[in-house]
């Protein structure tokens, strides 16, 4: 597990219940593009990443289900953006 270099947000202070799907996607895409894409596409092409949109931490696995399960196990109350590394058409959020 690795962490992106993003500003840390105290999840106790942020109410994600009011975030729209568009906002979650915007945050997840921003973290992926800014901090993760170049590295992951050169080493992990085709794998799945579930990004914690509050912290930039992520879970990486061979399937979306595995990445999401790992993310929910690590951060059960957080919000995630899931994408297939190198395949923008397969991205979605949880």
Q: Which residues contact 75 (CB under 8 A, 6 or more apart)?
A: 52, 55, 57
Predicted model pTM = 0.75
pLDDT above 50 (res 9): no
Taking only the tens place, the pLDDT of each residue in 45-69 is 999 999 999 999 999 999 999 999 9
Question: End-to-end distance of the chain based on CA atoms, in angstroms?
Answer: 19
φ, ψ for residue 57 (rounded to 5)? -70, 160
pLDDT above 50 (res 89): yes
């Amino acid at each position: 597990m690795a962490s992106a270099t993003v500003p840390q947000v105290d999840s106790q202070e942020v109410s994600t219940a009011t975030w729209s799907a568009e906002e979650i996607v915007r945050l997840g895409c921003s973290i992926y593009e800014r901090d993760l894409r170049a590295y992951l596409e050169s080493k992990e092409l085709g794998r799945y990443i579930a990004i914690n949109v509050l912290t930039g931490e992520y879970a990486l696995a061979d399937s979306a289900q595995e990445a999401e399960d790992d993310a929910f196990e690590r951060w059960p109350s957080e919000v995630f953006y899931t994408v297939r590394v190198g395949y923008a058409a397969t991205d979605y959020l949880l």
